[in-house]
Structure 1
């Protein structure tokens, strides 16, 4: 969608937009309209229609509450408009996905919303048990697989495992194991459990220090399994390469906004000190591309970065 309009009772819409921009930077195509405590449905309708008239192109309206006044007003005015889609049940995760992945379908956004409502304590307990079981997993003599690693994708994604990785990339590539290569996550039991919860239940997960990931993959430890290699930042990619980790290409997916970063693509914000790191990765003969989701075209990231 070319435009996103957040509508809510009170200040929720403004709050979600503020949190969104902390993560992905300023978003000129995201707008808000709020039903204020001292207002009514007629005033809200007037403000929403004025906002919509000022926009060009397709628009996604995300309302806070199904059956609430903001949602009802949107349905009343735009139900028959083919250029307008309407969702109810606003969450920050759904708004982020809609912003960074403009090709996301309504069905995909709905699936993401459902996946993000979980019993965290119960999920953590289950995840911890699965991690213990995976620690006991051994392939026996795996030396025959050394140098025959089956890496189906390598990706930089600051959010690590989330909707795009778990629900779109991993399934479309028939991934059998996700390997998160990050020193901090590898020693943080809470983060490891959170990643296990976020990963598809049908897929194995390894959360490893960068050097260990390089060593295990190089040694053929995972046999013929289809591996999805996931990094949090370009620094970890370069460290993996220097540890002789096998890799031919890296896909840059999501790097969030930080003070001083510049936008390379809508979902990728690069700090000045990260640019030479990407240059060093490319100098190793690694193909560096940018592709948010499989149905988007892959672009030459280094050309975009240098341009």
Structure 2
């Protein structure tokens, strides 16, 4: 796995790494190196050398630094000598960049390849509201005129094998957020993210927030449960690799009983509300949840209980047992 050094003036590097791990989970082979007011250049260089020595693969190192030309950059630049073919430095450190770098390690073993990926993400993460304050984009070059009108694909058309591919189906109270948009998307590589919720489909603000939270290159949609049942049967989605999200196990059960062909559910989070038993840091259940999950299991659905890909799966049976014990008290 590519080793990552996050380096900055002051404690910025340590803070942004903590923020990143709140979103994508604990990370291995990543270290924060900080240049404090009382430190000299040799101090942060020593931190970097110790970090590199601790990595599983010190032949692949990515430095993410705050300022081009600052002391952290200069010390990284001194260390990179002799490793120009495999190491890389990227300045302008921000949170989207760091999250992208962590997620990219699931699909790339090259520090330099990850460096090229995170640049676009870092730039794309800089946004402004109201949008009228954003700098005007340059007009794109004129596209060639299409030879024929480009319209909707006619109903009944069979694309590919005519069956949508579910690369991940997840139960998560928050639906689309950082852990999903980065770590899971990098791991399962969907071309569509579909949040399936009657509540959110009729809430314009939440719907817009989810659609805007999609990572670069992936479209996000919000649809009601009945619509998802129709989409599952639509042969025009044969080339779709979907990451599908449910707010609750009840929504997942309704979709599956309606014909959505999901055989495995990732249980990410179920928020605690009054009357629910806390069974882990991320999951709380009430009696209805227990009954719903047991019905899903009886239908042959397998459960994969973990927040992020790097976590070890927990036992759904142990969770159900603990929930029953807690609710019986």
Change in Cα spacing, 1:280 to 1:116, as seen in structure 2 (3 Å) is: farther
Aligned to 1:41: 41
Which residue matches 1:72? 74
Deviations, residues 221-256 of structure 1 (Å, cap 9, x unaligned): x5623453520556266334455141233474x947
Instruction: Quote the Cα distance in structure 2 between the aligned partners of 1:93 and 1:258.
Output: 25
2-side partners of 1:84 and 1:261: how far apart? Answer: 43
The equivalences for 1:252-263 within 5 A come to 252=266, 255=268
Provide the secondary structure at the position in 1 that maps to 2:89. Answer: strand
The 3 A distance-change label for structure 1 pair 14 and 187 is farther
Cα distance between partner residues in 1 of 2:211 and 2:82:
42
Deviates more, 1:185-194 or 1:274-283: 274-283
The reply on whether 1:224 has 2:251 as its aligned counterpart is: no
Task: Tell me: CA distance 1:235–1:84, structure 2 relative to 1, closer, same or farther (3 Å).
Answer: farther
- The aligned counterpart of 2:209 is 194
Partner of 1:102: 105
Larger radius of gyration: 2
**Contact kept in structure 2, 1:25 and 1:256, CA below 8 Å:** no
- Return 5+ residue gaps in structure 1 as ranges: 124-138, 263-268
Pairing of 1:116-127 with structure 2 (within 5 A) = 116-122=125-131
1:246-270, Cα deviation, whole Å (9 max, x unpaired): 1233474x947999887xxxxxx86
After TM superposition, the score normalised by the length of structure 1 is 0.64
Distance apart, 1:166 and its partner CA: 9.2
1:155 is aligned, of 169, 172, 175, to: 169
Indicate if the aligned counterparts of 1:24 and 1:257 stay in contact, CA closer than 8 A.
no
- Alignment RMSD (CA, Å): 4.8
Give the C-alpha shift of residue 17 in structure 1: 1.8
**What is the CA-CA distance between 1:117 and the residue it aligns to?**
3.0
Partners of 1:201 and 1:96 in 2: CA distance: 13
Contact 1:23 1:256 in 2 (8 A): no
**Partners of 1:204 and 1:281 in 2: how far apart?**
28
- Unaligned ranges ≥5, structure 2: 109-113, 133-151, 273-277, 319-329
- State the SS of the aligned residue for 2:209: helix
Note the C-alpha offset of 1:284: 1.9
Q: How many residue pairs get matched?
A: 270
Aligned partners of 1:24, 1:256: CA distance in 2, in Å? 14
* CA distance in structure 2 between the aligned counterparts of 1:104 and 1:290, rounded to whole angstroms: 22
Secondary structure of the residue that 2:18 maps to in structure 1?
A: helix
Q: Could you say what secondary structure the match of 2:118 adopts? A: helix
Assess if the C-alpha contact under 8 Å between 1:215 and 1:243 holds in 2. Answer: no
C-alpha offsets along residues 254-301 of structure 1, whole Å, 9 cap, x if unaligned? 947999887xxxxxx864759967665444234667999xxx9xxxx7
> Which of 274, 299, 309 pairs up with 1:284?
299
